[in-house]
Structure formats: C-alpha cells, structure tokens
Structure 1
Amino acid sequence: MVGEDDIALRFPVLIGDIGGTNARFSIVLDANSEATEPQIVQTANFETIDEAIQAAVLDRSSIQPHSAVLAVAGPVDGDKIRLTNCPWVVKPRQMFANLGLSEIVVLNDFEAQALAVVALGEEHMEKIGGGSPEPSAGRVVLGPGTGLGVAGLIYALRHWIPVPGEGGHMDIGPRTPRDFEVFPHIEKLEGRISGEQILCGRGLVNLYRAVAKADARPTPFTTPAEITAAALAKSDPVAEEALSLFVTCLGRTAGDLALVFKSRGGVFLTGGIAQKIVPALKAGNFRAAFEDKAPHRALMRSMPVYVITHPLAALLGLAAYARTPSLFGVQTAGRHWRA
C-alpha cells in the first residue's frame, strides 16, 4: 500500500462503480480517450468482484488494464473492503494475482459521484429551484438508491476535493403531527431511524407500510417501482402519501447537508430513484422542506438543487480522475496499492 496523493495511473485504466445492486465497469485507454462502452452487471449474479470483472470486462475484450480505480458503496478501510449493502469484499492484493492488475485505487462510491459533478455539463442536470450556483463554492451530492449515499465537494488550493462520508446513516426524525402518527411504524435499525431507513428503495417500501399501518390500510405493493408508479399516477393514496413524505424527508436531509457544507455551489441529487421521481421533486414540498431552516431561510432559498440525469454519472467522474488525477485533491493514503 502506498500513500502519496500525486499519482499518475498507468493506462489502460479499469474504472468501476460498485453499488449494492449493480456494478458498472469501463476502461479508459489513455489520457485523451473517453471510457469504453460500460458493462453493467448485478452484484447478486457473482460471488466476488473479481469474478464480475473477469466475466464482464476481461473476457469480453482484448484490452488488459494495468491500473484500476474502483468506487465502492462502503467505507474504504484496510486491505479488505466490505460493501455495506452487498456481500462482496474488495481485496486489492488478491486482484493483482487474479486479474493481472499492477495498481489499484479504491474510493467511496459517492466520491465518484462528487467527481462527476465537476465532469458533467448542465445538459445532464435538471434544476429544482434556487438561484445561480457560485462557481467555486462548496457542493453536496446525495443519492437514494440501494442505500443513501452522501459526499461533499470543496474547492481549495486549485483542486476539487471530494469529502466522503457515511451521512446516509444520520438520524432522521418526525416534525409534523402527521409524522408523529407515521414514524412509530417505520422499521428501526437497532432502535433508531437513520436516513437509510427512509431515503432509499427499501426505505420507500418502509414508509409505504408505515403510512398504511397508521391508517389501517392495505398494502398491495411490495417494490419501490410499484409504489412510485402508483404515486405518480395518483392511483393509490397510500403510495401518494408515502412518496410525498419520502420527498419531504429528502428535502429536509438535503437541506441539513447543505447547511453543513454551505453549499452555494449547489446540491446534487443522483441515482436512479431521483431521476424517476423528478415530477414529485418539483411538486413543491421538497423545496419547502429544503428551505425550512430558520434562521437561514434566505441562505437556503439561494442554493440551487439539481437532479443529475446522466445514468452513468459516477463512471464519468472516475474517468475524469483516471485521465488526470492531479486535477483532483483525492486523498489516496491507505487507499492506493501497487503490486
């Protein structure tokens, strides 16, 4: 393991965005190339990440990557990196022997999403209120998916510096009288309700069941997709309320994080769920909850929020980093291995 921050990766570079449900891989051939056509696999179909890379990338191409930059959904700590919502364990030293790699950098998946905010143009974003972003001000990225990912992004010393964290596990609680009726029925994790118990796919199902229990209503839907579809179609009042409460809680959490980072550069919602519920996010309660942060309502009103609409944003962020690591202040100490 090596600890320097100013690295120059040897091409070709394998890039990978590994979430709890899906893993997306591509290859950056050189410093002037766009990434190759992404290969997307379901994590449940492979016992290990090494098997997934072999089947999805190496067996399909004559290109042998020398280096890899992998973004994983979980804290990067030590030589055995466990994903939070997937049984895979990333073992960089083992990858040298199994996959023929000679250098590996492992980042948090939402660091990659933060890098993508810099790499993407506004044509890949949909604005949800607020004023104009300040070019070099702090930013926040959060995304409900299999879990709830969070990262900050700050500009200092002429570098964009992603700030990884586990903000999806912060406590979240009731505020309104209706919240106090619904929240007792939300499934807890070791006695507490964190953001991830509400603001992710299973969290939406959790909310839907809690709303139904509060009113002794039936729950015919079992998946986030069914609940979202029924809510957007206005065909089921329990699903509608569940999605509305989901959006409100997302607004509250996004606003809290925006206060932490004073995100005058913008707050960015990423991931498949955010992309699918843009109409609900524009309905008004997201923005109202986001701005309801007395005594700082005026500050919150000025902050723009964007939904990132590019389906593979994290890969674009990783590709930008792989091509020119020196542009980004990514801390690689303890997360950079060479054979």
Structure 2
Amino acid sequence: MSNIIAYSDSLFNFDWIYENNQENRTSYFIAGDLGGTKCLLAVFKKEGNRIERIQEQKYASNDFAGINDIISDFIQLLKVKPTQLVLGIAGPIINQSVQMTNLNWEFSATSLKETFGFDEVHLLNDLEAAAYGLAALKEEDLVPLQLVKGDKVPGNMAILAPGTGLGMAGLYWNGSAYHPFSTEGGHALYSPSQTFDQHFWSLLQEKYGLVSWEHVLQGNGIFEMYKFLLQISKDKPDPAFHEKVMASDDPTPIISEAGVWKTDKLASITMQYYCMNLFACLTNVALQFKATGGVFLGGGIPPKILPVLSQMALSQPFLRHPNMDQLLQKIPVWVIRNEETALNGAAVYASWVKK
C-alpha cells in the first residue's frame, strides 16, 4: 500500500481550491484515526500537491486514560517537528469539541493546541475523515457490489461504516466537485419491516430501550443476531463451536469467520441475516442522500465478510424498494478495502485546509 498521496491521482473530483492558498514548502503534520477500539497516528510530509506518510503507530484506545497520553507517546517517537494535528474521531464534533461515543473521553481542538503547541488543530468526525479519504483511494481499494449499466449519473455520495460502532457521512455534489460532511445517521432508529426483524427488534428493545441501526450493524450486533437465532432456529451450532463463542471476550470475529467460510451452519445463517439488515440500511442511506454518485461500505466489518456480501449481491438486488427501484438501479455500491481510509482522509484534510 503506497505511502504517497497525490491529489492528481484522485478517483473523485474534490474541490482543491484551498491548496492554492498554501505556500509551496515542505511541512510536517500529524493525522489520526481515533476510535473506540484503536487509535492510529501518523506523521506526514507535505511537498506541493503530494503528501507522504513517513511514520505511524497504532495504539489500543483502552490502554490509555485519554488522547493526550497517546499523542505524548507518539511525539516522543518522532524525529521531525509537526506543526499541525488533524484527528478523525468516533463521535460528534461540535464547535471543535467532542465527547466520544464509545469512550469516556472529552477534549477540544483548543486544549490540544495549547497542550502540545501546534500551530493548527482540527477535529473531524471519523466518517467525515473517511469521506475525505476517498480522494486517496486507488481502484484496487474498491470492490464493486452493484455496478451501473450505461453512463454513471453524477450526484451525492454516502459512506456507511459498520465496525465497533456504525458511522455515516455524506458528500454533497455541487455540480463540479464533492464536499464531505458528517452525520450521526448510524444512531437513527432501527426500522424493521419483516416479521423476523420485528422479533429481533423486540429482543434488542429489552436490552437497549430505543434500538438504533448501530445496535443492529455494529460488531456486537452479529453476536446479538447469533443469540437470537439460537433461540428460534431449528439449526443449532456445533457444540464445540458454540462453547468457543460463548467463552470469548469478543465472539464477533469467531461467528463472522465461521459464517464466511460456512464452517458452522448457524453462523452462516447469522451472517446472511446480518447482511440483509445491512442491505436495508444501505437502501435507506441511498435514498436519504439521493446518492447517485455511489454508496460506499467502509469500516472494519465489510472487507472481512466480502465473500458473503458478494454472493448475496449476485442473487438479489443490493438496493431495493418497490417504489424507487428505477433510481436505486442507478446507484453504484462499493466496499472500501483500504482500512486506513479515515487516516488518509485526515491527512488529505490537513494538507487541504486553508491556513
């Protein structure tokens, strides 16, 4: 995977007008992708319209008391002095401050700037960062799930990213270029339309009260679906496999891997139902954003379950709605295989933002 990002190589037309406002000199900055499970920080060198990643470090978020400790550790490893910091963060950014969704961390751009002496600090929602990261993708980073016949229709784009949580962002098409924006659509209320889904919703409602799409499609949602099917399905898991699942601190990878490779029947059924809910959520997103420019599946889960997604996409329409099929057939769908899209997006933003 290349460490060089050049704007001229972008698959999508972003508005790089701010680039002309920056001096054509060498500078260094830190970009980061901070989630509930892990934090990835990297230092980049910027020269002209190219940025190069020169050093990076991955951290387990729960091993630290806060973001300051992680940044302090990273800075001590560096041989260069970065002047700017841009973080993509799993949580809503309000006035450049954040209370993280899946970690009890709260901080602001101002506090980070004062603590570490950066010239500039910018906070982005992690999916907003991923949206900027589309500018850094290569063709090999994308796997098509729904291709469009004929000419592609220009228009808005959207990203849905199931992982530790469920992120969502959009890219507004102004007629000539894309402009990313963040949303908290992953926390929109789950809308079951089939009797099976309604029963699953009832199970989740007992646990969570209000049930969101994140409860269904985040990693733990796979385990919740497995437990639900265990109650109602005639198919039972292999006893040894089930014991392994229930004994694990993180059963989701065990279930999803067995479902992908069909080594356990109940795990396989679990992943099929999970993907059906994912299809339904993607249809909602495609319609809400009128995303004729395309819908992207990011996050940690889709690349790992790609065989199931691809197989199901061959046997049924990926996006479907009885009144909107004509529109939905014009919307391409891709899986993003590059796990560092949000990190690269934060770097793209850092090199693009007007001083």
Q: 1:209 to 1:299 in 2, by over 3 A?
A: same
Q: Is the 8 A contact 1:26 1:35 kept in 2?
A: yes
Alignment of 1:176-191 (within 5 A): 176-186=194-204, 190-191=208-209
TM-score by length of 1: 0.86
What displacement does 1:136 show? 4.2
Q: 1:53 to 1:245 in 2, by over 3 A?
A: same
What displacement does 1:135 show? 7.2
Distance in structure 1 (CA, Å) of the matches to 2:271 and 2:29: 40
Q: Show the counterpart of 2:217.
A: 199
Q: Show the counterpart of 1:42.
A: 60
Q: Is the 8 A contact 1:111 1:164 kept in 2?
A: yes
Alignment of 1:107-256 (within 5 A): 107-131=124-148, 134=152, 136-156=154-174, 158-186=176-204, 190-215=208-233, 219-220=242-243, 221-222=245-246, 223-256=251-284
Q: Is the 8 A contact 1:247 1:285 kept in 2?
A: no
Q: Show the counterpart of 2:89.
A: 72
How big is each residue's C-alpha offset from its partner over 1:125-179, in whole Å with a ceiling of 9 and x where there is no partner? 0000231683742111011011000001112274421121111011223323333
Q: Is the 8 A contact 2:127 2:167 kept in 1?
A: yes
Distance in structure 1 (CA, Å) of the matches to 2:223 and 2:136: 33
Q: 1:61 to 1:319 in 2, by over 3 A?
A: same
- Number of residue pairs matched? 322
Distance in structure 2 (CA, Å) of the matches to 1:47 and 1:153: 34
Residue identity in the other structure for 1:142: L
Deviates more, 1:116-125 or 1:130-139: 130-139
- Identical pairs, percent: 28
3-state SS of 2:59 partner? strand
Q: 1:163 to 1:91 in 2, by over 3 A?
A: closer
Q: Is the 8 A contact 2:97 2:123 kept in 1?
A: no
Q: Is the 8 A contact 2:166 2:218 kept in 1?
A: yes
* Aligned equivalent of 2:101, options 62, 84, 92: 84
Residue identity in the other structure for 1:320: V
* Aligned equivalent of 1:18, options 31, 34, 51: 34
What displacement does 1:67 show? 1.2
Which ranges in structure 2 are unaligned for 5 or more consecutive residues?
1-16
TM-score by length of 2: 0.83
Q: 1:197 to 1:291 in 2, by over 3 A?
A: same
How big is each residue's C-alpha offset from its partner over 1:241-273, in whole Å with a ceiling of 9 and x where there is no partner? 221111111111111111111111111011221
Residue identity in the other structure for 1:202: N
Which ranges in structure 1 are unaligned for 5 or more consecutive residues?
327-337
What displacement does 1:17 show? 0.9
What displacement does 1:194 show? 0.8
Q: 1:285 to 1:185 in 2, by over 3 A?
A: farther
Residue identity in the other structure for 2:196: R
Q: Show the counterpart of 1:105.
A: 122
3-state SS of 1:291 partner? coil
| Two-structure CA RMSD over aligned residues (Å) | 2.5
3-state SS of 1:141 partner? strand
